[in-house]
C-alpha cells in the first residue's frame, strides 16, 4: 500500500502581488471569488467579486494614479498576479491571475489622533477573468 504523506499546510501570510510586471508590496489581499448567478439558465460562471488589496501608505501615488487614469476614461487594464509562497521568499505554491483588472475604488486611511495605527491605503479591483495558474500546466479559467 502506498504511503499517504499529508500535504503541508500553507499559510496565508506569505504572498506576493504583481501588477503587470511590477511587484508591489501589500499587507492584505481579500478573497478571490468566482461565483454563479443561480438565476442564470445555463448555470455558468458569470461573475467575479471585486478584490480589495491593502498596503501601508507611503509617498508613492502609483495606485491613486492608476485609479485616476480609469476615472479620466483611459482603458488601463492590467493583469494582476497573486502568488502564495511556501515561506517568506520561498517557492511559489499557488498563483492566481486576475485578467484585465482595473481599479474601481481607491481609499485613503482614516485618520484618528487618538490611535497610532499604520496608515493603510486600499484599492478595489474588478477583472474580466480569474485563472488559477498551475506550475508547469496550462492555466484554468474560473
Report the mean per-residue pLDDT for the chain: 90
For residue 139, the model assigns a pLDDT of 47
39-53 pLDDT, tens digit per residue, is 776 666 668 999 999
Residues 46, 34 contacting (CB under 8 angstroms): no
Domain ranges of the chain: 15-141
| Confidence check: pLDDT of 138 > 50 | no
Question: Cell numbers at residue 142, please?
Answer: 474560473
Homologous superfamily of 15-141: Hcp1-like (2.30.110.20)
Beta bridge partners of 47: 35
Of 21-30, 37-46, 64-73, 120-129, the least confident? 37-46
pLDDT, mean of residues 10-31: 95
Amino acid at each position: 500500500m502506498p504511503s499517504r504523506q499529508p500535504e503541508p499546510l500553507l499559510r496565508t501570510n506569505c504572498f506576493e502581488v504583481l501588477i503587470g510586471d511590477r511587484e508591489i508590496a501589500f499587507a492584505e489581499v481579500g478573497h478571490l471569488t468566482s461565483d454563479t448567478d443561480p438565476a442564470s439558465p445555463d448555470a455558468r460562471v458569470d461573475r467575479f467579486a471585486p478584490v480589495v488589496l491593502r498596503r501601508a501608505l507611503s509617498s508613492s501615488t502609483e495606485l491613486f494614479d492608476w485609479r485616476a487614469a480609469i476615472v479620466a476614461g483611459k482603458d488601463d487594464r492590467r493583469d494582476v498576479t497573486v502568488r502564495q509562497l511556501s515561506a517568506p521568499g520561498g517557492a511559489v505554491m499557488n498563483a492566481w491571475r486576475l485578467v484585465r483588472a482595473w481599479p474601481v475604488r481607491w481609499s485613503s486611511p482614516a485618520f484618528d489622533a487618538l490611535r497610532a495605527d499604520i496608515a493603510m491605503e486600499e484599492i478595489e479591483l474588478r477583472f474580466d477573468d480569474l485563472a488559477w495558474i498551475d506550475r508547469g500546466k496550462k492555466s484554468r479559467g474560473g
